[in-house]
Amino acid sequence: MTQLSVNVNKIAVLRNSRGGAEPDVCAAATACLGAGAHGITVHPRPDQRHIRPDDVLAIARLLDARAEFNIEGNAFAPARGSYPGLLALVEATRPAQVTLVPDGDTQLTSDHGFDLVADGARLKPLVAAFRNCGSRVSLFMDADARDIGRAAEIGADRVELYTGPYAQAHASGEFARELDLCVRAAEDARAAGLGVNAGHDLSQRNLPALKRAIPFLAEVSIGHALIGEALYAGLDATVRAYLRLLA
């Protein structure tokens, strides 16, 4: 079965908009796990627009190996203020998985994957450093990337397919081309010995077609749509709905 990791960044966005401690990201993570989610994802950024370093530490203590912890982030971004850098956070928490994403402060959200021709040499020692922490490493990649197999050469264990273009096409009703790109990328990655994850803008509407087309998906990381849907149905019911789709 494809694993579901729930991204709780949006819980932190809502908290930060008001200040204080509510809604509580650990309480939200606990609710997701109680409904059957296999793991929790966070994506701390240097500008701390949502998940903060203290949240990362708190969630790590909460999970304590009872469920998978996936930390996403830009390994190239330097420490800033109270943000110690991605490697320092991983060294302190030892998550099951680290997903490296080439995002920056000017991006509202992650909107592209790595160019391994340009970034491969810089990534290789960083991938090794994260793996030395005992973490599996996944690289965020575009579905139309021609060099997706290079991720294995760099030392990564998995790739996460950026599914934003697929989700956008699905909403328009014309998504065969984008779905085919995802399938080809997944097959190329698997042929290179890589596990395949997927994430970004996945929802209950577009996830079934992706899952049918790529039955060997190891994990999906879903946050924005799931939290939005949970506003109407509740976290427990929404997480359970996703698990039924993945089964």
Percent over 70 (pLDDT), the chain: 97
- The catalytic residue positions are 43, 72, 200
Mean pLDDT along residues 224-234 = 97
- Domain around 93: 3-246
Give the count of domains, the chain: 1
DSSP secondary structure string, the chain? --EEEEE-HHHHHHHHHH-SS-S-HHHHHHHHHHTT--EEEE---TT-SSS-HHHHHHHHHHHTTSSEEEEEE-TTSPPBTTB--HHHHHHHH--SEEEE----TT-SS------HHHHHHHHHHHHHHHHHTT-EEEEEEETT-TTTTHHHHHT-SEEEEE-HHHHHHHHHT--HHHHHHHHHHHHHHHHTT-EEEEESS--TTTHHHHHHH-TT--EEEE-HHHHHHHHHH-HHHHHHHHHHHH-
CATH of the domain at 60: 3.20.20.70
**CA-wise closest residue to 111 among 243, 224, 13, 226:** 224
pLDDT on residue 112: 76
Q: Is the pLDDT of residue 107 over 90?
A: no
pLDDT on residue 140: 97
